[in-house]
Chains A and B, each alone.
Chain A
């Protein structure tokens, strides 16, 4: 009986040792798995969104350049985490806008339309809408893309199969396959920055404050006043995606 207990303790001790050693190894990976190891940041205390004031955007392309530089986005013209579109509407066909986005607006826009020619012209910055009911997250076969508890749609590139179903499912064209990694890439809302208390790269460099990051869970965030005081639209509301990029004074012709 005594020997049994002794054996039990010895074996139990060994098992405990192995278990704690593996837990120690695992801990590193668990920590590495948290999107950003940011002390003092609690995901459940935030719910991120962005506001875009159409009337303020001047189409300078600062946001596109800053995003590509900050997030190492491939420079070729088919890969954008954010881009800017120019809309041109004439009075005789308000339903069929003429839209262009040369290189995503990376170099800004050459003047095409003369002021006072009777047309309506404006810029529309685009990025991932960080939908609360993301169709892209729904279709991922392995759950490599997910909505974080603070409302950001992220991708685990070490898990992504590169099947491209999410690219098809996004109604806004916000995703692309990174030709270097063969996995999907998209706007992370500069998660590495916002979890450190900074704003996104695109908002940081916007000279007119057309784009502003907001935290809907923070009662003192100016986003609440902005949403209250402007006419707000989201893109393609009929898709019911719960988009969280809120446009002020968005024209109905924008898709």
Chain B
């Protein structure tokens, strides 16, 4: 039956017998991590569109495609985790209205179908129509299907696209907030678990989502420019990094507020959680999340804000900070999901998480699920290049 009774020897103190085995695995760590990247990338895109931050324009389309690639993968770890994935459709047919989780399908579909797909389609419609006209063979059919029968790219119709697109982005911002705030609520509303149960959870999730999404697009922009051998627009990169810094400062303050509040209030769960953070979570929480994944990248980003550095130096600082940030936010998701299950609800004991490798919820499927969005993104970039075509570039240049 695959029951690992050796776990019992690693339990410290007392746990309810049903608590010894963890319920939510690394796949459930991926779920908030991936949806966070979606929400963060989208919010970065809306900076340009709604808030007219013109500097970040080179990342606008890349952000949208990144959000889409990750959003398509977001439900997969959940499906793989379910005991009966074939029944998951029941969440649409008979949603239980008091359940925080029941709304996921609807929030997801709203975000995917109403916000992201429509916005990308409107933004790319001109390119799609042009491609449908000029391509031959199989690709022509793909673009014609994507054009959904539209062929009108007169200035007037493009102006309408733009207006509707702007409206969708405005709707999209609260939707992105909803998507990830909601994921935070799934954890924050579990009153049985003091590690999760805080009204700050949705807000912390939201800001950490922005941080991770912006860091991801920053890294992708640098990577894509390197692959294409095009010059990086430093004004753009500086601005994205500045917004990363701002979001990170807010995120870090919120997390510290949570921490200080817990330490000062020191309720019945505190001793137990404090012990956990100092022992079983020390590596992933204190070392990886807080020191390597937060303080260090914040310091590096602050350095770029406070000093005048060469382009080259800034690029390497941004890249380092971006990678560390991604690691830090992943560690944060890990510490929330896994950490929240390592201690007993009696506050008297601790268990361990044993991750399999090539098992259904093991490390291998987790790695594949993290690689998959990049494969989808590469295909999307092929199909819908997020940068202006060379001809247009020459014209504008």
- For B88, the closest partner residue in chain A by CB is A161
A172–B1 contact, CB under 8 A?
no
Chain A CB within 10 A, most for which of B16, B99, B191, B346: B16
* Contact status B345-A139, CB under 8 Å: no
User: What residues of B have a CB within 8 angstroms of the CB of A163 in the complex?
Assistant: 78, 81-83, 101
Contact A139 B84 (CB under 8 A): no
Q: Mostly helix, strand, loop or mixed at chain A's interface?
A: loop
**Given known A78-B3, A172-B16, contact A143–B91 (CB-CB < 8 A):** no
Considering residues A98, A160, A165, which has the most beta carbons from chain B within 10 angstroms of its beta carbon? A165
Q: A143-B96, A239-B191 are in contact. Are A182 and B83 (CB under 8 A)?
A: yes
Choose one: A74, A162, A169; the contact of B192 (CB below 8 Å). Answer: A169
Report the tally of A-B residue pairs with Cβ distances under 8 A.
139
Is B17 in contact with chain A by the CB < 8 A criterion? yes
- Known A-B contacts A78-B21, A80-B18; A161 and B91 likewise in contact (beta carbons under 8 Å): yes
- Chain A residues within an 8 Å CB radius of B346: 99, 173, 255
- Contact mask B269-283 → A, CB, 8 Å, 1/0? 000000000000000
Question: CB distance B8 to A255 under 8 Å?
Answer: no
Given contacts A164-B24, A182-B84, A183-B83, contact A142 B91 (CB under 8 A): yes
A76 to B83, Cβ gap below 8 A?
no
Contacts of B83 in A (CB 8 A): 160-164, 177, 181-183
Q: Say yes or no: A142 contacts B96, CB within 8 Å.
A: yes
Residues of A within 8 A of B82 (CB): 161-163
A100 to B88, CA, bound (A): 38
Contact status B17-A180, CB under 8 Å: no
By beta carbon, the residue of chain A nearest B341 is: A168
Query: Which residues 139-162 of A have a CB within 8 angstroms of B?
Result: 139-143, 159-162
* B390 adjacent to chain A (CB < 8 Å): no
B95 at the A/B interface (Cβ < 8 Å)? yes
**What is the total number of residues of chain B having a CB less than 8 Å from a CB of chain A?**
47
Given known contacts A139-B100, A142-B95, A171-B191, A159 and B17 CB-to-CB distance under 8 angstroms: no
Known: A99-B348, A179-B3, A255-B347. A174 touches B17 (CB 8 A): no
B40-57 interface with A by 8 A CB criterion? none
Asked if B90 CB lies within 8 Å of chain A CBs, one says: yes
- Give the residues in chain B near A143, CB-CB below 8 Å: 94, 96, 99
What per-residue 1/0 map shows which CB atoms of B179-204 lie under 8 Å from chain A?
00000001000111100000000000
Question: By the criterion CB–CB under 8 Å, are A174 and B18 in contact?
Answer: yes
B98 at the interface (CB under 8 A from A): yes
Contacts of B94 in A (CB 8 A): 142-143
Q: A142-B91, A143-B94 are in contact. Are A77 and B8 (CB under 8 A)?
A: yes
Q: Is B137 an interface residue (CB 8 A)?
A: no
Which residues of the other chain, A, contact B193 by a CB distance below 8 angstroms? 168
Contact of A171 among B21, B102, B192, B341 (CB under 8 A): B192
Asked whether A78 lies within 8 Å of B20 as measured between CB atoms, the reply is yes
Bound: A183/B191 CA distance, A: 23
Q: How far is the CB of A146 from chain B (nearest CB, A)?
A: 9
- Distance from B273 Cβ to chain A, minimum over Cβ atoms (Å): 15
Interface residue A175 (Cβ < 8 Å from any Cβ of B) = yes
Confirm or deny: A108 has a beta carbon within 8 angstroms of a beta carbon on chain B.
no
Q: Are A183 and B96 interface neighbours, CB within 8 A?
A: no
Q: Does B23 contact A (CB under 8 A)?
A: yes
What's the least CB distance linking A203 to chain B, in Å? 20
Cα–Cα, bound, A174→B192 (Å)? 12
Q: Is the CB–CB distance between A80 and B17 below 8 Å?
A: yes
Confirm or deny: B228 has a beta carbon within 8 angstroms of a beta carbon on chain A.
no
Cα A173 to Cα B346 in complex, Å, equals: 9
The reply to whether A165 and B99 form a contact with Cβ atoms under 8 Å apart is yes
Kindly state the separation between the CA atoms of A177 and B22 in the bound complex, as whole angstroms.
Answer: 11
Within 3-34 of B, Cβ neighbours of A (below 8 Å) are at: 3, 5, 7-8, 13-21, 23-24
A61 sits at the interface (CB 8 A): no
- Verify if B87 is at the interface (C-beta below 8 Å from A): yes
Contact B192 A168 (CB under 8 A): yes
User: What are 22 of the A-B contact pairs (CB < 8 Å)?
Assistant: A76-B3, A78-B7, A78-B21, A99-B14, A139-B100, A139-B101, A139-B190, A141-B96, A161-B90, A162-B82, A163-B82, A163-B83, A168-B192, A170-B192, A171-B191, A171-B345, A173-B15, A173-B17, A173-B19, A176-B18, A183-B84, A239-B192
Instruction: Given A161-B91, A168-B192, output 15 extra A-B contacts at Cβ < 8 Å.
Output: A78-B17, A83-B16, A99-B14, A139-B101, A140-B99, A141-B91, A159-B90, A161-B82, A162-B82, A162-B84, A165-B186, A169-B191, A171-B191, A173-B17, A255-B345
